[in-house]
Structure 1
Amino acid sequence: MVHPLTWQRAGQSDDKLREFLLPALVDLGASVIIQDARHDYLLVANLPEVWLPDGWESGTLASPTDSSLFGAEVAARLTSLKAEMLEAGQKGQLEVMVGAEQFFEFRVQAVEFAHGGLHLVTTIVDRSEERHRERLLRALLREVSHRSKNLLAIIQSIALQTARYSGSLDLFLHKFRGRLYSLSQSQDLITDSSWRGAYFFDLVQQQTEKYLPENRDLVSVRGVNLLLSPNASLHLGLALHELIVNAVSHGSLLHSSLPIEVSCTRKRIDGHDMVRMVWNEPLSLAADEKNDPQDMKAHFGSTVLERVVPASVNGKAEYIIAKDRISYHLTFPLEPGVTDEG
């Protein structure tokens, strides 16, 4: 009996229909098993390789059973499922895991044939790739959740510290917005690299170009262009933000046109691979006294540079303010797998 949703030319036999349908199912990657009402096998097509029995290719295979093809455990589950298939139209399904990587879905339905009565048609579909994608997606979602919580913790810390060192709401909003923008810029680089991190040179460029759109040559970058971890990228970006804001607001950068030198190097210290970032900002001796760099020690910037950033990357920092220059040295452990742009 042809399925009611199937059109068939009058006089066309079911055998002829099967002759065309089976290759189409095989081409889709589905396996097909047909059994009679006693669950005796009548046809097996395109069986997955993991279950191919001896004698399959030579054609010498004896009449198969669920147990001989799929093993006792899967056979018991199939037997239980098929026991419920007593009327045409009834359906059931189960999923079988083979090893640690392969997943197969068994779909069983009862079909009334025009000649021969009730039969069971089982299709087996390989779901391994689909399940692998699902597991990968779940892992990515857990990672996004973890990173989001870390980012929120950083934002909370910035908000608290900014409030502590802001004398007014307007000043708080001004500083807080700038620091959030810094985080968002660094996060963009991390996202673009598929969460691997950000390259040092890109961090410097992104954190400084907003404040020096027409004077980019005032920041010179050299050394090794390391791909830093996401955590190091966020906090190093924050440090760079504070340094460039201080340079523009309190230093003599735009007045003297003396370029700032920023470098990144790899060092071996006490048997450990370390990253060392140096910010070297020359000061004009003719700078206004009201912009004395020492005033910066009373602001949140120094707290970020001397405490927040080094603690977050498990490193050490020196923030030195002299008459002729401002320098910042940050040294922290190099995480395993860190590479450079070559």
Structure 2
Amino acid sequence: MKRLSWVEPGEIDALARDFFIHALVDMGACYILYDQSGLCICITSLPPRWQGRYTERPTDRDLFGPELAARLETLRAGLVNPGDKADLEIAIADENIYEFRSHMVAIPGQGNYVIMSISDRTEERQRAKTLHSLLLEVSHRSKNLLAIVQGIASHTARFTGNLDEFLAKFRGRLYALAQSQDLVTASSWRGADFLELAKAQISRYIASNPEAVTFESDPINLTPNAATHLGLALHELVVNAITNSDILAEKNSVRVQCHRVDTPEGQRIIFRWAEQLRPDIVQPSDWTQHFSSTVLQRIVPAALGGYAVNRVEDNNISYELTFPLEGRS
């Protein structure tokens, strides 16, 4: 096995020793060289937790304590022939993880020696653990999204009479779902700000009349689940408002409010939507049917662990949704 690309015969021993030791120290590489009897010959750059001042040749017990020393001695005892290798990974109480890699080498004319490297794998293992958790979270959320899409498709089909109408409504709801997910993803799945969510869901429908809706809200960061379902509710409300109110023509025709309130059961979020019917709308039958059987009346409140109240009175439509601050996961 080639260890060096080139050496000057007769000069390698003394120079190489100093050269490679200094190089290893500068690199911060931790290596321990053991002789045939298991005694330390050279140590470079021990991790801080095991560094000390030694007046005599240290043993594994001096360096690492009796428990770890016994494991390392057992590890090296399994190395019989040059080229044999063995690894050991340990977790320290403070959650640091170290890898010990031992390799037996033969030095001509000198005998067999063991080189052991020590590497701090804490950050690497933490990254792997975090990645695993993220993959599990992505899988969980993907399944939830697929269930939501399936529900959207089912409820949309139930209340549409032809394919073109189904596709138009289904695409609009999927777009609303995607907008909510974009906000949640941008926040690293911490949630979404209510005002940002509300404006994102409503603005594209009122581009010709941007002052149609007035917003009033406390600073509220919705959970990912709350953002997803409230986004769907906002989509349904603004689409219905286009049919039943003057949202496309009148200023301040719709009021959107969201506040945090204290209750004996804990903090709650109260979301309100209020709009005025156009004079030619006597009874918004489609809206009433939609509220009684689909997203706004049943799916969203159930998903958030809350309840909804909708009213049509005095030529006004109002929708109020109350749910826990933390919603459901």
Per the normalisation by structure 1, the TM-score is 0.87
Q: Are residues 1:196 and 2:157 paired?
A: no
Superposition CA RMSD, Å: 2.3
Q: Counterpart amino acid of 1:281?
A: E
Q: Counterpart amino acid of 2:42?
A: L
Offset at residue 23 of structure 1 (A): 3.2
Offset from partner CA, 1:40-97 (integer Å, 9 cap, x none): 2212222223234xxx32x32x433334433444334333332343333332222122
SS of match in other structure, 2:147: helix
For residue 238 of structure 1, what is the aligned residue in structure 2? Answer: 232
Equivalences, count: 327
For residue 289 of structure 2, what is the aligned residue in structure 1? Answer: 298
Q: How does 1:108-119 map to 2 (within 5 A)?
A: 108-119=102-113
Shift in alpha-carbon separation, 1:14–1:320, aligned structure 2, 3 A: farther
**Alignment match of 2:257 (pick from 258, 263, 270):** 263
Q: Percent identity?
A: 45
Shift in alpha-carbon separation, 1:90–1:5, aligned structure 2, 3 A: farther
Q: How does 1:214-229 map to 2 (within 5 A)?
A: 214-229=208-223
- Contact 1:239–1:305, Cα closer than 8 Å, also in 2: yes
Q: Within 2, Cα distance between the matches of 1:103 and 1:141?
A: 22
For residue 104 of structure 1, what is the aligned residue in structure 2? Answer: 98
- Contact 1:165–1:300, Cα closer than 8 Å, also in 2: no
Q: Counterpart amino acid of 2:133?
A: A
Q: How does 1:67-82 map to 2 (within 5 A)?
A: 67-82=61-76
Q: Within 2, Cα distance between the matches of 1:100 and 1:141?
A: 26
**Alignment match of 1:247 (pick from 220, 237, 241):** 241
Offset from partner CA, 1:295-338 (integer Å, 9 cap, x none): 322237862111111111111211222352211111111129xx
Q: Within 1, Cα distance between the matches of 2:84 and 2:290?
A: 74
Q: Are residues 1:322 and 2:322 paired?
A: no
Q: Counterpart amino acid of 1:232?
A: A
Deviates most, 110-119 or 215-224: 110-119
For residue 128 of structure 1, what is the aligned residue in structure 2? Answer: 122
For residue 302 of structure 2, what is the aligned residue in structure 1? Answer: 311
Offset at residue 226 of structure 1 (A): 0.6
Q: Are residues 1:181 and 2:175 paired?
A: yes
Deviates most, 315-324 or 205-214: 315-324
Q: Within 2, Cα distance between the matches of 1:256 and 1:177?
A: 27
**Alignment match of 1:93 (pick from 82, 87, 93):** 87
Offset at residue 234 of structure 1 (A): 0.5
Shift in alpha-carbon separation, 1:18–1:260, aligned structure 2, 3 A: farther
SS of match in other structure, 2:31: strand
Deviates most, 228-237 or 27-36: 27-36
Q: Are residues 1:168 and 2:142 paired?
A: no
For residue 31 of structure 2, what is the aligned residue in structure 1? Answer: 32
For residue 46 of structure 1, what is the aligned residue in structure 2? Answer: 45
What runs of 5+ residues in structure 2 fail to find an aligned partner? none
Q: Counterpart amino acid of 1:333?
A: P
- Contact 1:161–1:300, Cα closer than 8 Å, also in 2: no
Q: Within 2, Cα distance between the matches of 1:15 and 1:106?
A: 28
SS of match in other structure, 2:204: coil
- Contact 1:203–1:237, Cα closer than 8 Å, also in 2: yes
Q: Within 1, Cα distance between the matches of 2:292 and 2:64?
A: 67
- Contact 1:251–1:293, Cα closer than 8 Å, also in 2: no
Q: Are residues 1:277 and 2:271 paired?
A: yes
SS of match in other structure, 1:96: strand
- Contact 1:283–1:323, Cα closer than 8 Å, also in 2: no
For residue 211 of structure 1, what is the aligned residue in structure 2? Answer: 205
Return the structure number with greater relative CO, CA threshold 8 A, min gap 6: 1
Offset from partner CA, 1:127-179 (integer Å, 9 cap, x none): 11111111111122222222222222222222222222222232222222111
- Contact 2:214–2:252, Cα closer than 8 Å, also in 1: no
Q: Within 2, Cα distance between the matches of 1:245 and 1:288?
A: 15
SS of match in other structure, 1:216: coil
Offset from partner CA, 1:199-220 (integer Å, 9 cap, x none): 0111111101221223222121
